[in-house]
Structure 1
């Protein structure tokens, strides 16, 4: 996937366990920042510069699904929400503005709103 480049600059968990929630938030913020500087296979890419250097207070974990984190990153300048799927090991799996990650989570469907 084109977003794999974003995960290469993100720190991963130590060992073989799942990352802590704080790491998932930080990785999502770092991914948003990275996506302002690179173009990926998305019509919204690259992100506007206002997405760079956001604080972790702009990010919120919406769900934990099988150890993976669904993180919502809100841009305070325009109010848009970038949804980022962070894998259990810290890698960035996907990002979009819909909150829908097939077979994992759908921000529009409360039936998928589960936590571990």
Structure 2
């Protein structure tokens, strides 16, 4: 398979940096299922700190991929959802998911815990 890609493209580089940050892909995958509140995202990911989750959401919001919707309540509720730009990433996330299913091996949780101890 031959691709006519230039060795370096500024837009690709910027997109790769955004998507390549830890947790970004998982956040996008969760938001593709629909809007989520911060706590639900944090709980679904499990091992992400609230500080890092907040940073990633702010970065995605700054890029126009995610919107932050505040319902003044009471109680105040904040919900995150993908914009049209974010929804356009579904194929990227889907293809990465398919690639991972075929090519990525994951060790059982018990084996990972023994190694880190």
Band of TM-score, shorter chain: under 0.3
User: TM-score, normalising length from structure 1?
Assistant: 0.26
Comparing both structures, which one devotes a greater share of its residues to strand?
1
If asked which structure has higher relative contact order (CA below 8 Å, sep 6+), I would say: 1
Give the alignment's TM-score, normalised by structure 2: 0.26
Q: Would you tell me which structure has more helix in proportion to its own residues?
A: 2
Max Rg structure: 2
